[in-house]
Amino acid sequence: MEYSPSEIEPKWRKWWQENRTYQVSNEGTKPKFYILSMFPYPSGAGLHVGHPLGYIANDIVARYKRLKGFNVLNPMGYDSFGLPAEQYAIQTGIHPQIATGQNIDRYREQLDNIGLSFDWSREVRTSDPAYYRWTQWIFIQIFNHYYDLDADKALPISNLVSVFALQGNAGVKAVCDDETPVFTAAEWNARSEREQQLLLLHYRLTYPGEAYVNWCAELGSVLSNDEVKDGVSERGGYPVERKLMQQWNMRITAYADRLLAGLNEVDWPESIKDQQRNWIGRSVGASVRFAVQDHTDTNIEVFTTRVDTIYGVTFMVLAPEHELVNKLTTDAQRGEIQSYIRWAAGRSEVERMTEGKKVTGAFTGAYAINPFNDMPVPIYIADYVLAGYGTRAVMGVPSGDQRDWNFAKYFNLNITPILDAQQNMDLAADPTKEGRYINSGLIDGLTYAEAAPVLIEWLENKRIGKGKTQYKLRNAIFSRQRYWGEPVPAYWKDGVPYMIAEKDLPLVLPNVDKYLPTQTGEPPLARAQGWRYSPEGSTQTFEYELSTMPGWAGSSWYFYRYMDVHNKQAFVGPEALAYWKAVDLYIGGAEHAVGHLLYSRFWNHFLYDIGKVPEREFAKKLVNQGMIQGRSSFVYRAKERFFEQYLWIKVLQPFFAENGPIAIAEPGFEEQYKYDFAFGNNDLVIEVTSWKQTEKIEHIRRTAVADGKRLLILSTEELTEAINEPETTAEKIRQALVSRKEFIENEAKPKAEQLFVSHNLIHKYDDDALTKLHTDVNFVDGDVLDVERVRNIRQFEHANFKLDTNGKFTCSHEVEKMSKSKYNVVNPDDMVTQYGADCFRMYEMFLGPVEVSKPWDTKGITGVSGFLRKFWGLFGRNQGGLSIAEDAPNKEELRILHTCIKKVTDDVDRFSMNTCVSHFMIATNELRRLNCSKRTVLEPLVIMIMPFAPHIAEELWHLLGHDTTVCDATWPNWNEDYLKTDSVNYPIQINGKLRATIDLPSDTTAADAESAALALEQVQKWLEGKSPKKVVFVPGRMINIVV
RNA sequence: GCGGGAAUGGCGGAAUGGUAGACGCGUUGGUCUCAAACACCAAUAACUUCACGGUUGUGCGAGUUCGAGUCUCGCUUCCCGCACCA
């Protein structure tokens, strides 16, 4: 009887499907368990071995819980709206729905291939109109509600309308925009329908409004903050700029405190909770209004967390975008301010970040009055004050804040110490709160804890400020100028948005001729011919909202749809909801920490408020699976020209960084040019490149010139020449660098030659070396290839290497994220073909803890493969077939079995799948040694291994004579009595160090153990005749003798 | 800078405060074989010893304890996230 996974695995997968083994019903007497993995975006690349890690762990728990007697909901679906399908459509003209469908089929095939127990009858696809009608429905509900601060929940907007008609909005405590006008009932009633609707937009939980957004021109769309990384788009890495646009917003800020508080109710990883807390960014402080000298009608509001430092204020800074800047600027300063604003606006996010803490700013000529001491302080603008946070104005306290201190030093402003414990103000700021206040009027002599309440009370009495809590969290931009997303179910009438009737849902995505924005810059949906809305009873038609929803819309509630996927009356029916309630265990990647997981919580809180879901938090427990990384093969260009240039640059760079306002770009630096060229005040660039004709160079040239920098471009050819002929080098670089001749001749050149000694040096610069290339060919580390070998690598076929005939390349590996473009993807199908799905599943678990990221490495898989064969062998040691003994187990066999039951049960419960696999291996090895083939021992093992290796378990289960699925078996219990052994091998420590061991009966008393231990020769030797001070005996564990 | 996490053999990784290195890979030796592969058996932290044994060992330094990889305090390094947030 041979173990042949390729025969038994497909057989049982088919059988499970035919028998609907994994279909689950929404009722029953069993307790429920809802386990969920984050659904994937079905990309064109298919699954790689990293994806199933979480799914397999998920599957093990799902199957385990089922054996433990739970009714388990274990669904799967697809987050099938998204940008890649749309970009693919733009390139190929293939409708995203078709491409997405194909991708889904492929995903399904791959998922099925590893034997996951999903109930596919509950599959959801976010791009399916039957699904997104409910995404649209939820959107409409959000539109129709506002956040009431008295009730501390969302309430219907119609309530607000009634209140406005009776008493205006002065007494209403609701979350609204800062610029919401105050009106009386009479004023409200006198307004037109249109005007009333416009006012209501200030309150609705979703609303269109002008906002600075992250605009990505290359993608033709707005991105949310979490879709922007390091100033470029997360997807594609395109530049992102700030732009004022009309967009739908979600008033998530209304829920900031509840989203913060809710984190305390869920069992989620601390790092995820912290990321969310950080994103919400609650800070408690005070707002203070400063009057402005010579502008009696104006004041500036600042927010501070250190109101206690208010007597130390010596200047004020506004964001360049602050609305008062123009008004306050004096004529004398106008030129300077305007040029600063222009400069700041042209600075990209990347530049701002790269330049770090460099002080910039400009004086407006105006002065603000500190309300506490009536001192005038100069008003500056600077772009370190963010336009998007707080009041866009800060008070400068150089004695207490290092950044303010730097600013004051730079602009030569006063620094007033305010605490008696403060250190020398000439050296640095002192942000500590120690000591008692000085120079501080009202609070002189008080401590930090005493000061703030005094100041806030004074402010509130004077009505020029108050205690205030501020959040970093901003309302979420909800519009995307895309095609492949849920249409926003709104239409426009007289410039006011209305929701379409619920009976007209779903608002189906129309067909368009092209998936690009129109010539006039409108979203692709503007291309849909005759796509207009005609409300019931109206003869008119109106233009639909043309933007679509963001990727996170459909994923913010999908966990409810699984409960009741075919319901046509509601997004989830009340019975299904009452049964399943919420997700018991949610598994997914940590990369969704603030995106999906925060938005989902927000929608869930809203749905809870309107009584549509029973729990405030949708997922009680969350586990993050780690990432499985790939091993990328690299070919490094070594030696010869590129390397020489590279070394030259390495040698020159530090020198110039120290001495001159000069930056040097390296060859092949396309990816990093934005960073390399954010060089602040530098005035000269030497650029080394072989692609000076490209657009990017032009861009850099323009940037440099606009910044008033001189730019010199050396091509690679020129530099190579220069290196080959020292005189030319010196000459060329002398021209560029004026007085750097000595350095070039005497230091750089000799150093460069020293560095030449070993080409292994290049590995030192791996990270900076821009000469490494991903390959799909696996070379041994350290291999040196010649040009011909490299040309034979497929993806380099057409690459234009400027190498001499004796040019060499070295090879190496690095661990990176798995990605098609890095040629390091391992397909699970290949693993399944070679070793079987059971082996693949167990091996993924065996690699280490599920939560930990680790590189994929196939080396150890033979161990798991061998184990499965041995396990199989327990059932049929004879060639003939199954050979199972029916006699009763002996003590040793029972001990092995029950130890295994106990350990595996404990370990699945604590999500430690890797150690479970070890326990199976141990039990199998021991039973083999005993030649055990008894049904009473092996059958429970078959049940236990089912969650890990379902195919082999099902096969053996049937071979053992069962004809229903092993999935419906019962998880075995262990008996503590069987775990005991007759004797225990006790370690004997002397002063905590292991010196001997002794076998004692398991029921030995402390006194017996002590005398037995002391009787040992080895122990006596270590006692050296002394009598022990103390003997510690831990039954079943150890003996420690203290001398 | 702030927050979270990690550090254990050649490698992946085990260890409710109780014999550190389970389990697997790799390596070495052996059995089987004409041979190889597979399989099986044995050894495998380092140093030292013919051997018995001994010494040192969980990033570093202290501490608590009969006993610390595990707990406490102080560092170092690495990874992840956030970051001019007032």
A863 touches strand B (CB under 7 A): yes
Question: From CA A894, how far away is CA A232, in angstroms rounded?
Answer: 61
A145 touches strand B (CB under 7 A): no
3-class state of residue A365 by DSSP: strand
SS (H, E, C) A16-43: HHHCCCCCCCCCCCCCEEEEEECCCCCC
A1038 touches strand B (CB under 7 A): yes
A922 touches strand B (CB under 7 A): yes
**Å: A590 CA to B69 C1':** 28
**Å: A667 CA to B18 C1':** 60
CB-count burial class (<10 Å; 0-12, 13-18, 19+) for A888: exposed
* Protein residue nearest nucleotide B19, by CA to C1': A987
The pLDDT, as a whole number, for residue A100 is 96
* Protein residue nearest nucleotide B84, by CA to C1': A384
Of A970, A971, A948, A945, nearest to A956 (Cα)?
A945
Give me the A residues in range 215-244 that sit within 7 A (CB) of strand B. Answer: 225-226, 229
Q: What angle do CA A539, A569, A477 make, to 5 degrees?
A: 70
Q: Strands A628-638, A808-817: parallel, antiparallel or unpaired by DSSP?
A: antiparallel
CB-count burial class (<10 Å; 0-12, 13-18, 19+) for A860: exposed
Contact of A808 with A784, CB cutoff 8 Å: yes
Of A763, A788, A767, A790, nearest to A779 (Cα)?
A790
**Å: A995 CA to B55 C1':** 13
Question: How many CA atoms does the CB half-sphere of A832 hold within 13 Å?
Answer: 23
Phi and psi based region of residue A394 (left: phi greater than 0; alpha: psi -120 to 50; beta: remaining):
beta
A93 touches strand B (CB under 7 A): no
A650 touches strand B (CB under 7 A): no
Nearest nt to the CA of A283 via C1' is B85
| Dihedral sign for Cα atoms in the order A876, A882, A885, A890 | positive
Q: What angle do CA A989, A992, A998 make, to 5 degrees?
A: 10
A321 touches strand B (CB under 7 A): no
- Return the residue matching tokens 């000069």: A662
Question: From CA A188, how far away is CA A169, in angstroms rounded?
Answer: 9
Nearest nt to the CA of A357 via C1' is B84
Going by the DSSP 8-state scheme, the letter that residue A744 receives in this structure is I
Read off φ and ψ for residue A795, nearest 5 degrees. -75, -5
Q: Which long-range contacts (CB under 8 A, 24 or more apart) does A330-335 make?
A: A330/A364, A330/A365, A330/A366, A331/A365, A332/A365, A333/A362, A333/A363, A333/A364, A333/A365
**Å: A52 CA to B41 C1':** 37
Query: Which amino acid is present at A576?
Result: A
Question: From CA A475, how far away is CA A83, in angstroms rounded?
Answer: 22
* Protein residue nearest nucleotide B83, by CA to C1': A353
Nearest nt to the CA of A359 via C1' is B84
- Read off the tokens for A1014: 């002391």
**Å: A900 CA to B66 C1':** 33
Question: From CA A243, how far away is CA A222, in angstroms rounded?
Answer: 9
Entry field: residues in chain A: 1043
A284 touches strand B (CB under 7 A): no
**Å: A260 CA to B74 C1':** 33
Portion of chain A with pLDDT greater than 90, in percent: 49
A566 touches strand B (CB under 7 A): no
Going by the DSSP 8-state scheme, the letter that residue A480 receives in this structure is B
**Å: A196 CA to B58 C1':** 70
A915 touches strand B (CB under 7 A): yes
pLDDT tens string A292-308: 999 988 999 999 999 99
Nearest nt to the CA of A847 via C1' is B12
Which segments of A93-226 does DSSP mark as H helices, in order? 96-113, 129-143, 157-167, 185-190, 193-200
**Å: A586 CA to B74 C1':** 38
User: Which residues does chain A have with pLDDT short of 70?
Assistant: 1, 212, 224-237, 239, 242, 346-357, 423, 635-773, 777-812, 877-881
Of A604, A603, A597, A599, nearest to A582 (Cα)?
A604
Q: Strands A993-1001, A983-990: parallel, antiparallel or unpaired by DSSP?
A: antiparallel
A55 touches strand B (CB under 7 A): no
**Å: A915 CA to B9 C1':** 19
Question: From CA A735, how far away is CA A726, in angstroms rounded?
Answer: 14
Q: Where are the beta strands (DSSP E) in A383-448?
A: 393-396
How far separated are the first and last CA of chain A, in Å rounded? Answer: 60
Helix (H) or strand (E) holding A222: strand A221-223
* Protein residue nearest nucleotide B13, by CA to C1': A848
**Å: A269 CA to B5 C1':** 11
**Å: A2 CA to B25 C1':** 24
**Å: A373 CA to B1 C1':** 32
**Å: A912 CA to B48 C1':** 39
* Protein residue nearest nucleotide B65, by CA to C1': A992
Give me the A residues in range 409-448 that sit within 7 A (CB) of strand B. Answer: none
**Å: A765 CA to B83 C1':** 27
3-class state of residue A153 by DSSP: strand
* Protein residue nearest nucleotide B81, by CA to C1': A275
| DSSP letters spanning A608-631 | HHTTS-S-SSSBSBEEEEPPEEEE
The pLDDT, as a whole number, for residue A279 is 92
A316 touches strand B (CB under 7 A): no
Give me the A residues in range 367-396 that sit within 7 A (CB) of strand B. Answer: 383-386, 389-392, 394-395
Read off φ and ψ for residue A755, nearest 5 degrees. -65, -20
* Protein residue nearest nucleotide B79, by CA to C1': A853
Of A155, A120, A95, A167, nearest to A24 (Cα)?
A120
Q: Strands A71-73, A221-223: parallel, antiparallel or unpaired by DSSP?
A: unpaired
**Å: A17 CA to B28 C1':** 49
Nearest nt to the CA of A305 via C1' is B86
Q: Which CA distances in Å does A998 have to A986, A1004, A1020, A1028? A: 5, 12, 14, 18
A353 touches strand B (CB under 7 A): yes
Read off φ and ψ for residue A922, nearest 5 degrees. -65, -50
Nearest nt to the CA of A278 via C1' is B82
A1034 touches strand B (CB under 7 A): yes
Question: From CA A260, how far away is CA A1008, in angstroms rounded?
Answer: 58
**Å: A266 CA to B9 C1':** 39
**Å: A449 CA to B26 C1':** 62
Question: How many CA atoms does the CB half-sphere of A393 hold within 13 Å?
Answer: 20
**Å: A959 CA to B64 C1':** 58
Chain B: nucleotides below 7 Å from protein CB are: 3-5, 11-16, 18-20, 22-26, 39-41, 54-55, 66-68, 79-86
A715 touches strand B (CB under 7 A): no
CB crowding A648-677: b at 16 or more within 10 Å, else e = bbbbbbebbeeebebbbbbbbbeeebbebb
Question: From CA A810, how far away is CA A129, in angstroms rounded?
Answer: 53
* Protein residue nearest nucleotide B24, by CA to C1': A863
| Dihedral sign for Cα atoms in the order A483, A487, A488, A494 | positive
**Å: A997 CA to B43 C1':** 22
**Å: A391 CA to B71 C1':** 46
- Read off the tokens for A191: 């307004």
A834 touches strand B (CB under 7 A): no
**Å: A635 CA to B46 C1':** 36
